[in-house]
Amino acid sequence: MHTCNGTRLWDSLMDMAKVGPTAKGGNCRLALSKEDREGRELFAGWCREAGMSIHVDAIGNLFARLPGRNDTLPPVVMGSHLDTQPKGGRFDGIYGVLAGLEVVRSLQDKGIQLERPLEVAVWTNEEGARFTPAMLGSAVFTGELPLEKALASCDADGISVAEALEQTGYAGDLPLGREFDAYFEAHIEQGPILEDAGLPVGLVTGGQAICWLDIEVRGQAAHAGTTPMPLRHDALFGVGEMITALEQLSRDFAPKGLVTVGQLQIARSSRNTIPGHVAFTLDLRHHEDAAIADMEANARALIDQVATKRGLEVQINRHWLSPATPFNPACIDAVRKAIEGLGYPYQPIVSGAGHDAIHLARHCPTTMVFIPCVGGLSHNEAEDALPNDVTMGCDVLLNAVLTRADRR
């Protein structure tokens, strides 16, 4: 079994963290911003020093390529993203990109050339913090999102993806949807499971199903001081009862079922007016497609019951449905053998968050490698990981990729 240079990897992570720093130790590199461009250029420079060539496709996805002995074979690809949340951390996405680079550097140190070419991908706008949808670059690459629609997406200032690509110089011509032999993505877990178990590595078997609903509840706006309680049609109190019922729904599908109300808006709100129109979002997650379908049906029924009882009108629209995504058994087995060969403790885990790997899994054999993050914290300036975990996760990636890419 081979090991990487953990000190070099950590130093690279800390150097990248100097690009777009925030006041509390995090990062702000919104997709296709000046800071994102600086981060990409820093990464590209490191890749060129490691003997790699740089290529960019029409949606700005960046690929650093190391030739194989048979360079006509489809590449084994590693990677993640360099863009962050407005007040994001130093490891979300960045770890997967720089771990991929460290795999290449370590192979170069050891004088190993693999049969197949290796590539490290930087996917555009994974976070979705500047442009929607999230995971935009990988969705376009895999054909799940039309290029024209993605290019037309605009940020809060009205700047389109197409304009931002031109401004940053990342409108490339590498073909979309190229054949990959496999895709491996290393990532912080972004949750507390591995840390709570005291484990340095997670063997990711797939991504859970996600269902997003948009709910609008309409009652009757009225004077807060003149309308008796029994005669009110208060949309907000109705939504409060709905949310309480939805929390119980999570218990009915425990431990794998997750329910989140992430946004709530009171239309034309006033201190002394009974709310007449409230909108909220519902995020449902579960490891199994059948269960997510049951959760959605039950959620709709609970909301309708409360609305009927309170004399409210309700409209429920499905915003997005992402089915459960099992990862490739051969890629999972390559990661498992690497972990066990290195003697690292681990556990299988399902990804709770969305990742570019979810899109790639519908394009080529795919899996992920998780490491813990301190306190399970992510999308936060205080996001952190331990140097030993960072190194061990990269060791696993190195050996799994070496096995996969040295096939004829």
187 is in an annotated binding site: yes
Identify any residues that bridge with 281 across adjacent strands, giving them in sequence order.
214
Q: Which two tokens stand for residue 60?
A: 């700005």
**CA neighbor of 97 nearest in space, from 75, 71, 124:** 124
81 is in an annotated binding site: yes
Map residue 385 onto helix, strand or coil.
coil
- Say how far apart CA 123 and CA 97 lie, in whole Å: 9
Length reported for the chain: 408
Q: Where are the alpha helices (DSSP H) in 25-93?
A: 34-49
- Say how far apart CA 36 and CA 30 lie, in whole Å: 6
Cβ neighbours for 351, distance < 8 A, ≥ 6 positions apart: 204, 206, 207, 208, 357, 358, 368, 370
127 is in an annotated binding site: yes
Give the distance from CA 390 to its chain's centroid. 18
Backbone angles phi, psi at 246, to 5 degrees: -70, -30
For the annotated binding site for Zn(2+), the residues are: 81, 92, 127, 187, 379
For the annotated binding site, the residues are: 81, 92, 127, 187, 379
